[in-house]
Amino acid sequence: MDDGQDGYGMETWPDGTEYKGNYVKGAKHGQGIFHWANGNIYEGEIVDNQLEGKGTFFWKDKRKYVGSWMENKMHGSGFYTWPDGRYF
């Protein structure tokens, strides 16, 4: 019996972290949104439970990164901004 999630769904953790998005064979995979308990948010592509592909990360302190991800890390091209207007 296959009890892995497939399709769109929502998952919550005891600390308040939440994931809404796509699953394939039990893994978070496709488009999704993470809301972490610390106030950080990620919206974008996820591959086999990892931030991978194109996505936007919003930090609680108002920093933002829009760009490419690989294995849960900023990777390749992207645009990083700080609340005071600086950018890279």
Long-range contacts formed by 26-33: CB under 8 A, 24+ apart: none
Instruction: Identify whether 87 is part of a domain.
Output: no
Evaluate if pTM is beyond 0.95. no
pLDDT in tens, 7-32: 999 999 999 999 999 999 999 999 99
Residue % of the chain over a pLDDT of 90: 94
Question: How sure is the predictor about 1, in pLDDT bands with cuts at 50, 70 and 90?
Answer: very low
What kind and span of H or E run contains 8? strand 7-12
What CATH code is carried by the domain that includes residue 61?
Answer: 2.20.110.10
Instruction: Identify whether 33 is part of a domain.
Output: yes
Residue 52 and residue 85: Cα distance in Å, rounded?
Answer: 26
Total domain count, the chain: 1
Q: Which domain holds residue 69?
A: 7-81
